[in-house]
Each structure stands twice: as structure tokens, then as C-alpha cells.
Amino acid sequence: MSSRLPPLSALRPFEAAARLESFSRAADELHLTHGAVSHQVRALEEHLGTQLFARHGRRVTITPVGRELAERVRAALDAIAQAAEAARPVRRDSRLAVSVLPSFASRWLMPRLARFMDAHPELEVSVESTTALTDFARDPVDVAIRMGRGGWPGVVAEEFLRDEYFPVTSPHLDGGRLPKAPRDLLELRLFKEDRDYWAEWFAAAGIAGGGATVGGPIFNDSSLSIQAAIRGEGVALARRSLVGDELSRGTLKRLFTLAVPSRESYWFVGTPETASSARVKAFRDWVKAELAGTDRPTSPAAKKRAR
């Protein structure tokens, strides 16, 4: 039977590319390069002697043969994952698997996580930093932290933090000659992100069309724009939740008191089964307690409880 097996190393890249219909997004999910995913898929196609994807430049669409194979490969990988999980020596109720956005993981969660582990030494904590949506039926994840507007089907979601944006930079930017008025920002390098709020901020500052003049680099991770601001390379429009520590240490300085609310909130996301588990409840309660000790806007429900 083994001689009939395709190259096993190609199956995960193929399954991800088929599910996402994108080699680039599959590469991001698997922490590979676009070229590595393309090479593995090509090797699988050569082994099978058939085309699994139709290629249109860098855009791909899966063929009917590829779609049928992907469904069977996905079922097989799910079966392997379940078998591996059953074989783990660690009891499931003593392991907490958290999926979290990279920016929130690096700038908020990880600097504090040791306190949670000290308070709960009975738990083995696993943190996955990713922007990929969690498939709770396939991924061994207990709780995910995501930004959005809620209303996701098939999951339990609890809003726990509403955020806001304001400009920050190094106190040493331009030799310490920081902008004195919002309009001065138009003369500086301004960092943009996938979630861009410069237009809203300039509008709130009374500068019509200011957002259209922002021509700085675009980052897909807030941590990148924050680090660039810390180095004094320009100004980032940062979320309060991600820069509190830097503002306290003085490595970043807030410019102006004006802030604009985020269109999206932070949410705990999970299944009804995991959401009610003791380990997930302990983690949620700890996150809320950590946030309660800081000056951050929280969800209306949290504010009501705090009164």
C-alpha cells in the first residue's frame, strides 16, 4: 500500500491551498513561503498525473478533481489529528490551547502570561499566534481571541474589550521636535495598516480629506507599525490595548488627546463545550482582571459589572 501513497509532505499544503483557494494564504497559515506551497502542490500533481489547480498568474482555482481529492484528504487529516489527540498523555482538561492574533499576543498577552501560569500551575498552556480563523472542529483550540463585530455562526462569542486609536511616535522623532497640531502630521511619515483609521482620525480632528494624503508604508500587523514608531521612523495610529506598556515606559509618546473608537471589538470565541469548561473560564476571568487594572475602554457589559 505504501507505494501507492502520494508524497505525504504535500498533503497539508494542498489541503490548505484547496480550502483557501490561494497559495499565498495557505503559505501564511502554514508559515511557509508561497514558493514552497506551489512546489508541494506541483509535486502532488506530478505524482497523480493530473491537474489539481487551474493557474491564472498568481491566482489559482481548484479543479473538480482537486476538490474531490481535497475533501478526502481533509477527512483523513482530521482522523489523524483526532487519533494523535487521543494518544496524548496529557489529560485534555489540564491543557489550555489559545489561538490569538499576533499583535495582541506579542504586545499584550505574552508579557503577562507568566502571571496566569503562576496562578494556574495545573494547566499546560499552548499559545498559537495566527490571523487564520479557527476551525474548532479541526483545530485543537479551546478559545480564540479575535477582533470583529460578532455574530459568527456556530460559535460562542463574548465581547470583552472595545478599543480606540490615537497617534503615537518615539519621543525622539525629529530630534524631539514633535508635531504641535494635528495638521502637522501631514508633513510626517504615517504608517497605515489593514485596519486603517487615519481617515476617521483626521475627520475627527477637523481636517477634511486628511486620510487621503496618508502615503506611508502599509503593514498587515500592528506590531510592525508600532515597532517602526518606536524606532522613530514615523507615526503610527495605534490601538490603546497594544501600546499601554510602551507609553508607561516612555518608549512611545501619545500625540494629542483625540482618539477614535475602533469599528471592531476583541472577543473570546469558542464552542459551547469549551466555553463552559473550567480552564477556559479561568483564562477569560484572568484576562478581564488584567484589563480591569488598566485604563482601557472595555465592553458595556464589563463597565456595568464594574460599577
The model's pLDDT over 35-90, given as tens digits with 9 standing for 90+, comes to: 899 999 999 999 999 999 998 877 899 999 999 999 999 888 888 887 876 676 55
Confirm whether pTM is higher than 0.75: no
The CATH number fitting domain 2-87, selected from 3.40.30.10, 2.30.30.40, 1.10.10.10, 2.40.10.10: 1.10.10.10
pLDDT of 173: 94
pLDDT mean over 107-136: 92
State the average pLDDT for the chain. 87
Q: What is the sign of the dihedral through the CA atoms of 50, 56, 58 and 64? A: negative
Percentage with pLDDT > 70 across the chain: 90
Per domain, the residue ranges of the chain are 2-87, 91-307
For domain 91-307, say whether CATH 3.40.50.300 is its number.
no
